[in-house]
Copies of this chain bind each other. A is one copy, B any other.
Amino acid sequence: MAVYTEVDDTALANFLADYDLGSAIAFKGIAEGVENSNYLLETTKARFILTLFEKRVNESDLPYFMGVMDHLADKGFPAPLPVKAKDGKALRTLCGRPAVIITFLSGMSLSRPNVEQCRELGEGLAKFHAALSDYVGDRKNSLSVEAWRPMFEGREAEANALNAGLTEHILSDLDALEAEWPANLPSGVIHADLFPDNAFFLGDKLTGVIDFYFACNDALVYDIAICLNAWCFEDGRGEYNHTKGRALIAGYQAVRPLSDTEKEALPLLCRGAAMRFFLTRLVDWADTPKDALVRPKNPIEYAEKLGFHRNAKGFFDYGG
């Protein structure tokens, strides 16, 4: 949950004066996203989400993210549309922070996605990649392989405190990932954080994808690797649900079949994706002050997933 910046009714009314959205009739801070402040905003015209970007977001990246949402909406992909003010600009300032109003999407986040929902998510991911295939923006993945060793440095004792011997495993994983990380895979815009929190469903149908604030240009199949980690393990444990994985991959391939090179790369990319989330959670776990508004997630879950990927032999281990 996260409302870091309090927006009062006066500030909101002044802000809305720049738009053609009518006036506010309801406004509530919501527990969505962990990096930014989010409000549900209802005006006399419609419902929206107001996002204020907090310090962890790099302001220079915001036009890229806005462009991704615009592009997706243009292509009919179910993503929120940044709403333009009267001057044609969606990205504005509120309470000293960059801020944007985006359209409201219906749907529910799933706590335990079923097999059909995993298939639907895979298909949605492929459609997301396809919709963005002609997007001209470019943003480097700042949380990829070269970032990982520096993130881990100095945290060896913390990792061993979580699980005896974990540091040794992480260091050998980093060696392998750095040595074998593939270049030249088909690339494009990836979501890079498509966890169940960031997808809305009505029944088994995907009705919305949100939170594009880790989106970047990288190998498309790396996005599948992230989703397999996020969607296809049993609740917070290192047990891979092969049936769900197979469904997710099949859903993806129904729209965009993977090349042999991508299939071969998948196990290592899954290991890398688990490493990325292990490391960011490890850093947050150690660095989050006790009075923070967000409770950090335990990194152990991703250490266990790393254990699965370390032993995977090939694409078939994932249901491919």
Residues of chain A at the chain B interface (Cβ within 8 Å): 1, 3, 8-10, 12, 24-32, 40, 42, 104, 106-112, 202, 289-293, 295
Contact = CB atoms under 8 A, between A and B. Distances in A.
Contacts of A32: 28-29
A8 B291 contact: no
Top 3 A-B pairs, shortest CB-CB distance: A8-B111, A29-B31, A290-B290
A106 B25 contact: yes
Contact of A9 (B31, B109, B290): B109
A302 to B, nearest CB: 20
A25 B108 contact: yes
11 contacts: A8-B112, A9-B108, A25-B202, A26-B104, A26-B106, A26-B107, A28-B31, A29-B30, A29-B31, A29-B32, A30-B40
Nearest to A288: B291
Given A29-B30, A290-B291, A291-B295, 15 more contacts: A1-B1, A1-B29, A1-B31, A8-B112, A9-B108, A9-B110, A9-B111, A24-B108, A25-B106, A25-B107, A25-B108, A25-B202, A28-B30, A28-B32, A29-B32
Contacts of A30: 28-31, 40
A200 to B, nearest CB: 8
B9 A106 contact: no
A289 B289 CA distance: 12
A1 B39 CA distance: 12
A44 B267 CA distance: 42
Nearest to A106: B25
A27 to B, nearest CB: 6
B26 A3 contact: no
Contacts of A111: 8-10
Contacts of A293: 1, 293
Nearest to A31: B29
Q: Which of A28, A29, A106, A111 has the most CB of B within 10 A?
A: A28
Contacts of A290: 289-291
A106 B6 CA distance: 19
Contacts of A202: 25
A30 B3 CA distance: 10
A42 B1 contact: no
Nearest to A291: B290
A109 to B, nearest CB: 7
A289 B120 CA distance: 43
A235 to B, nearest CB: 11
A32 B26 CA distance: 12
A123 to B, nearest CB: 20
B25 A40 contact: no
A20 B241 CA distance: 35
A40 B42 contact: no
